[in-house]
Structure 1
Amino acid sequence: RPVMETEVVPKERVRLTTEEHTEQETVRGQVRKERIDSDAEIIDDTDEPGYGR
């Protein structure tokens, strides 16, 4: 029985660099608030672990 080996060789190497840009800007404008009406029962689950994560 012949013995065969396989070797994994990358065909192409890709490098990725990131640049970080930080700036501060004052933004002015009117913020919209949207409200909805619902007939469903409201359940308060804020005491459950992991809420808001």
Structure 2
Amino acid sequence: MIATLDGPLALSAIRDALSRRVAAWETSTLADADLVLTTLECALASRESIVGER
């Protein structure tokens, strides 16, 4: 949770285990499964675009 002037925000981030870079991150007013799934979908989409460039 991150405190902001508009209220708390939940942060979800996925980090690549090998490169240690943040693969995706999302914020939401609710810390729920939808936040985690959205973050995972973004990470997978960014991975697919990198694999497609090879």
TM-score between the two structures when normalised by the length of structure 1: 0.18
Which protein has the larger Cα radius of gyration, Structure 1 or Structure 2?
1
* Between structures 1 and 2, the one with greater strand share: 2
Return the structure number with greater relative CO, CA threshold 8 A, min gap 6: 2
TM-score between the two structures when normalised by the length of structure 2: 0.18
* Between structures 1 and 2, the one with greater helix share: 2
